[in-house]
């Protein structure tokens, strides 16, 4: 978290809080709840157990779909890199999937799966984050230093060791970057799909707060979403990034 | 040269890249335990020949005769080190392929000889260019090879590092009898190191001359009359290759 919590950021955060509090004082809490009201709402959803329950539901869906997207993205990248016929056939399709707005996928998912609890969010997360993983890994493979592979072959290195000790470490930076970008996509898609077409999870709670004009709850859930995203991005993934690039000259 | 003495033989090698003929009917042989130098100007196909001889690339036609039981090692023009492995791990990486990963003493000796003893656990990005080249060089010897291919290993190094590395190769070769096939564009380097020199001429696309250097390597000095005469001969061949420049002297005057 050390790269994230810097002194200027704290100052900015304090300024934002001051503006928020100042703005809330002159406005109806339906439009802008105060920090105190938001905290109260946060406390309520935490005490009632909805917070943990909804968080776990969204988290579970994200992890399942994200995991599937990571595996599929890597396998596809390896296959398309290895076989040029597959590359020529499927590469444009992945670009099409990637450039289709998520709202189209949600609409289609509702038509195909109905307002299903798990299927719609899982489908959306998968379809949105898989191309991100694919593109990063594919690019990593394309930019692979073939000189090192040639050196390893010249010294009669077995194929398995080339994969493990050259391909994998070469791809790790691209993989970590892909994991990072794709997780942000996955988390947002999950909430979006739940908002539109689910009856559980954080997205659904946001949708409920919205329809009940409970702006304080809307703010409370948003803070939860942001905090979790920051924890993943600046703590978990940052640690992973540091580990994989320890041999790099920064 | 008896058949048993040969480590590698190239017969009638031809190689083209699209319409560009790089090697034509090239013949060459390397004897066990010698330092053989392939000398030639830039663009004469030295690296292509290196790649064909070492098996990294196929020739269009011709025959490469080598004993597959022999162990080959390679030193590339620019170091090909695994950046995510430390210096020692880079050596172990290749040693493992031959079951030599437990030979820590050999690694230590090579680190000592190359002046890298303090940097065994450092990553390549922490090394200067010269240090990386030294690591590339000792990695080749870490696999206890029968034949080492060196493709202009000193090309981008300063004079001091060049002299040190040359000495290192010379000493290791003298003590172990490992066969060395060195590619260079520097006639002095060839004369100081090699037992046999092949001169690759650009226009002939093949070997233009073969020179045997009989003097003991330790006592060679380029100021020595005999070696100096050889150097002049080589320079003459090299000069022949650029003699066409005279034809454009007038054009240069006019156009500039």
Task: Count other Cβ atoms within 10 Å, centred on residue A71.
Answer: 12
Residue B132 lies in a domain: yes
pLDDT in tens, A102-131: 889 988 988 888 776 788 889 999 999 999
| C-alpha–C-alpha distance, residues A116 and A122, integer Å | 10
ipTM of the complex: 0.84
Identify the domain boundary among B121, B139, B157: B139
Same domain? B64 vs B155: yes
Count of all residues that appear for chain A in the document: 250
Q: Which of A57, A68, A186 is nearest to A118 (CA)?
A: A57
The whole-number pLDDT of residue B149 equals: 93
Same domain? B160 vs B217: yes
Between A150, A156, A247, which is nearest B125 by CB? Answer: A247
Between B80, B125, B126, which is nearest A151 by CB? Answer: B80
| C-alpha–C-alpha distance, residues B81 and B139, integer Å | 9
Same domain? B28 vs B93: no
In this structure, of A199-203, A214-218, B65-69, the range with the lowest mean pLDDT score is B65-69
The whole-number pLDDT of residue B204 equals: 57
A87 burial via Cβ count (<10 Å: 0-12, 13-18, 19+): middle
The whole-number pLDDT of residue A52 equals: 92
Q: Is A249 on the interface with B (CB under 8 A)?
A: yes
Task: Count other Cβ atoms within 10 Å, centred on residue B20.
Answer: 8
Instruction: Give the sheet arrangement for strand B206-212, strand by strand.
Output: B72-75, B147-151, B179-184, B35-39, B196-201, B206-212
Range of the domain at B167: 3-70+146-255
**Interface test mutation site (partner A, options B71, B73, B80, max chain A beta carbons within 10 A):** B80
Q: Is A146 on the interface with B (CB under 8 A)?
A: no
Please name the helix (run of DSSP H) or strand (run of DSSP E) that holds residue A28, with its range, or none.
none
Residue A225 lies in a domain: yes
Same domain? B94 vs B31: no
What's the gap in Å between the CA of A146 and the closest CA on chain B?
A: 10
Number of domains in chain B: 2
Residue A30 lies in a domain: no
Residue B181 lies in a domain: yes
Same domain? B100 vs B194: no
Q: Are A97 and A128 in contact (CB under 8 A)?
A: no
Residue A6 lies in a domain: no
Is the CA virtual torsion B2, B3, B9, B12 positive or negative?
positive
Residues in chain A closer than 8 A to B80 (CB atoms): 147-148, 150-151
Residue B159 lies in a domain: yes
Range of the domain at A205: 35-243
pLDDT in tens, A32-68: 888 888 899 889 888 998 889 999 999 999 999 999 9
Residue of chain A nearest B143, judged by CA positions: A155
pLDDT at A150 > cutoff 90: yes
Residue B80 lies in a domain: no
Residue B46 lies in a domain: yes
Same domain? B102 vs B167: no
The whole-number pLDDT of residue A157 equals: 94
Identify the domain boundary among B139, B155, B178: B139
Q: Which of A103, A69, A61, A94 is nearest to A178 (CA)?
A: A69
Same domain? B165 vs B249: yes
| C-alpha–C-alpha distance, residues B132 and B44, integer Å | 27
Same domain? B63 vs B13: yes
Half-sphere exposure of A228 (CA within 13 A, CB side): 20
Q: Is A161 on the interface with B (CB under 8 A)?
A: yes
Number of domains in chain A: 1
Q: In this complex, do A158 and B97 lie within 8 Å of one another by their Cβ atoms?
A: yes
| C-alpha–C-alpha distance, residues B56 and B53, integer Å | 8
DSSP letter, residue A103? H
Residue B107 lies in a domain: yes
Residue A133 lies in a domain: yes
Same domain? B235 vs B163: yes
| C-alpha–C-alpha distance, residues A222 and A228, integer Å | 10
How confident is chain B (256 residues) per 10-residue block, as mean pLDDT?
74 85 86 89 83 88 86 91 95 95 93 91 91 93 94 82 85 90 87 87 72 80 78 74 64 79
Identify the domain boundary among B122, B139, B156: B139
The whole-number pLDDT of residue B239 equals: 67
DSSP letter, residue A167? I
Cα separation values, B217 from A118, B5, B35, B150, B212, Å: 78, 21, 10, 18, 12
Same domain? B163 vs B124: no
Q: Is A160 on the interface with B (CB under 8 A)?
A: no
Residue of chain B nearest A160, judged by CA positions: B97
Q: In this complex, do B56 and A157 lie within 8 Å of one another by their Cβ atoms?
A: no
Residues of B with CB under 8 A from a CB of A: 54-56, 72-74, 76, 80, 82-85, 93-94, 96-98, 123, 125-126, 143
Residue A191 lies in a domain: yes
Same domain? B134 vs B151: no
Q: Is A143 on the interface with B (CB under 8 A)?
A: no
**Interface test mutation site (partner A, options B52, B82, B90, max chain A beta carbons within 10 A):** B82
Q: In this complex, do A169 and B82 lie within 8 Å of one another by their Cβ atoms?
A: yes
Q: Residue written as tokens 């330092």?
A: B35
Same domain? B32 vs B93: no
Residue A166 lies in a domain: yes
pLDDT in tens, A65-108: 999 999 999 999 999 998 988 888 888 888 899 889 988 998 89
The whole-number pLDDT of residue B243 equals: 54
Task: Count other Cβ atoms within 10 Å, centred on residue A185.
Answer: 20
Residue B173 lies in a domain: yes
* Residue A80: both structure tokens together: 């398309």
Here the CATH number for the domain that contains residue A214 is 1.10.3720.10
Q: Are strands B196-201 and B206-212 parallel, antiparallel or unpaired?
A: antiparallel
* Residue A175: both structure tokens together: 């993989």
**Interface test mutation site (partner A, options B84, B88, B128, max chain A beta carbons within 10 A):** B84
Residue A83 lies in a domain: yes
Q: Is A165 on the interface with B (CB under 8 A)?
A: yes
Half-sphere exposure of A16 (CA within 13 A, CB side): 6
Here the CATH number for the domain that contains residue B165 is 3.40.50.300
């Amino acid at each position: 978290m050390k790269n994230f919590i810097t002194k200027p950021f704290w100052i900015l955060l304090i300024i934002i809080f001051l503006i928020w509090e100042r703005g809330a004082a002159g406005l109806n809490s339906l439009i802008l709840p105060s920090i105190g009201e938001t905290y109260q709402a946060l406390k309520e959803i935490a005490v009632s157990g909805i917070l943990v329950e909804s968080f776990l539901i969204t988290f579970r869906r994200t992890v399942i779909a994200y995991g599937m997207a990571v595996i599929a993205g890597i396998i596809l990248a390896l296959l398309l890199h290895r076989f040029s016929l597959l590359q020529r056939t499927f590469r444009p399709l992945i670009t099409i999937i990637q450039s289709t707005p998520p709202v189209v996928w949600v609409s289609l998912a509702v038509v195909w799966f109905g307002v299903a609890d798990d299927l719609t969010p899982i489908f959306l997360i998968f379809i949105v984050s898989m191309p991100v993983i694919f593109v990063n890994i594919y690019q990593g493979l394309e930019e692979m230093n073939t000189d090192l592979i040639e050196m390893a072959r010249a010294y009669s290195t077995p194929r398995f060791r080339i994969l493990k000790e050259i391909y994998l470490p070469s791809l790790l930076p691209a993989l970590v970057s892909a994991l990072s970008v794709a997780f942000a996509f996955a988390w947002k898609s999950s909430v979006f799909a739940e908002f539109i077409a689910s009856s559980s999870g954080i997205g659904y709670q946001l949708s409920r707060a919205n329809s009940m004009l409970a702006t304080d709850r809307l703010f409370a859930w948003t803070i939860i979403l942001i905090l979790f995203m920051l924890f993943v991005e600046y703590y978990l993934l940052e640690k992973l990034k540091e580990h994989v690039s320890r041999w790099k000259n920064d | 040269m008896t058949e048993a003495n040969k480590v590698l033989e190239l017969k009638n090698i031809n190689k083209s890249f699209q319409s560009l003929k790089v090697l034509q009917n090239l013949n060459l042989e390397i004897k066990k335990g010698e330092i053989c130098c392939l000398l030639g100007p830039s663009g004469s196909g030295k690296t292509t020949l290196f790649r064909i001889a070492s098996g990294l690339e196929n020739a269009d036609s011709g025959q490469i005769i080598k004993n597959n039981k022999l162990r080959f090692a390679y030193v590339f023009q620019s170091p090909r080190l695994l950046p995510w492995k430390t210096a020692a791990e880079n050596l172990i990486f290749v040693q493992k392929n031959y079951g030599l990963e437990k030979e820590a003493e050999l690694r230590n000796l090579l680190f000592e000889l190359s002046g890298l003893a303090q940097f065994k656990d450092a990553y390549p990005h922490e090394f200067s260019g010269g240090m990386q080249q030294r690591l590339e060089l000792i990695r080749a010897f870490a696999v206890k090879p029968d034949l080492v291919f060196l493709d202009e290993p000193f090309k981008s190094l300063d004079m001091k590092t060049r002299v040190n590395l040359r000495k290192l190769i010379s000493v290791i070769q003298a003590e172990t009898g490992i066969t060395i096939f060195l590619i260079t564009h520097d006639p002095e380097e060839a004369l100081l190191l090699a037992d046999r020199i092949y001169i690759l001429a650009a226009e002939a696309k093949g070997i233009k001359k073969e020179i045997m250097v009989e003097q003991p390597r330790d006592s060679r000095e380029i100021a020595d009359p005999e070696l100096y005469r050889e150097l002049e001969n080589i320079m003459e061949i090299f000069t022949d290759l650029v003699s066409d420049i005279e034809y454009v002297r007038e054009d240069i005057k006019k156009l500039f």
